[in-house]
Amino acid sequence: MNFPEKPDDFRCVTALTPTVCDLCGVGRPAQCADEPIAAVMAAAAKALAGQKVEKLLLFAPDAVGIHLWERFPEKLAAVEALAPVRVPTRVVMPSVTPVCFASMFSGALPEVHGIQEYAKPVLTCETIFNAFPEAGWNTAIAAVQECSIDKIFRKRKATYISTTGDDESLAYSELLLKQRPVDLLLSYATDYDKNLHSTGPFSDKALAAFDQDLVAFQKLCALVDEVWADYNRAVVFCPDHGGHATDDTGTRGAHGKDIPEDMLVYHFYRFMPKKAR
C-alpha cells in the first residue's frame, strides 16, 4: 500500500471516543484510556467558534479501508468535500468488526473491553452509548439485525432499530432524523463487507456497495444540515477496519490480520455551525 502518511501519523481507533465526548461536552466512558485528536478539536473550534457540538451523526460503513481510497482518489475527494478533516486511523487486533467497534466506541483496548475475537456479547464496559444518554442526549442506533453493532451495544438507554439491510438502515436513519428528537445517531452499513467476503474487495458487487455507502453518506450529510440547521453539528465517517483478497484471483476477501489492508482506515469529520438567528 502506498499511503502518504507515516506510521506515527496514525491514531488508534480508540481516539474517536474521547474526541466526540470532548467535542460534545459529554463525560468520557470510565474505561476510556485515549486522548482526543488534536487536529479534530482544532478544526471544530474554528468551524464552531469555540462552541460545543450539539448534534452528532456517526456513519459507520463496514470494512472501508485505505486501500479503497488509494485506488479511487476521486471518491476520496468527494468524501473530503463533505468531511474535510481526515484522520489516519489504525484499528486493533484482531481486526474484525465487534472488536474494532467495541474499541472505537468505548475508547478502550480489547483486553479492557473484553471482546478479543469474533464474538458479539453485550459489552459490560461503558461506551458512548452510556455516556451520551446519561448526559441527556437522545441516542439511536440503526443497524442490520444480528450484526455486531446491533448486538454489542444493547442494554443502554438508546433507541435500537434492527433492519433487514443497508437500504432499510438508511431509510430508518432518515426517518429518525426527520421525525424524532434524536441528538446522537449511529447509522451502520454492512454491504461492502458482506460482498468483500463473498466476491473480493474490488469486485463489481463490492464496489457497488462501496458506492452506495458514499451515496448514503452524502444523503445523511444533506439531511443533517436541513433538520439540524439550528444546532452546531458534526458528522463522522468511521469505518471499523479494512480488508484484503485471500487469493490471487481476488474473488474472495477477509480481514483480521495485522496487515495494512486490514488495519488502516481513514475517519472523516464534518463540522457545521448553527444558522444565525
pTM (two decimals) = 0.97
The cell for 104 is: 472505537
Is the predicted pLDDT of residue 3 greater than 80, yes or no? no
The tens digit of pLDDT for each residue in 76-93 reads 999 999 999 999 999 999
Taking alpha carbons only, the member of 191, 217, 220, 216 closest to residue 204 is 191
Place of cell 468520557: 28
CB 155 within 8 A of CB 110: no
Residue 247 has pLDDT above 90, yes or no: no
Predicted confidence band at 113 (pLDDT cuts at 50, 70, 90)?
very high
Which amino acid appears at position 50 of this protein?
G
Q: Which of left, alpha, beta for 22 (phi over 0: left; psi -120 to 50: alpha)?
A: alpha
Q: What is the pLDDT of residue 276?
A: 72
Residues facing residue 172 across a β-bridge: none
Of 1-10, 20-29, 191-200, 221-230, minimum mean pLDDT range: 1-10
**pLDDT above 80 for 42:** yes
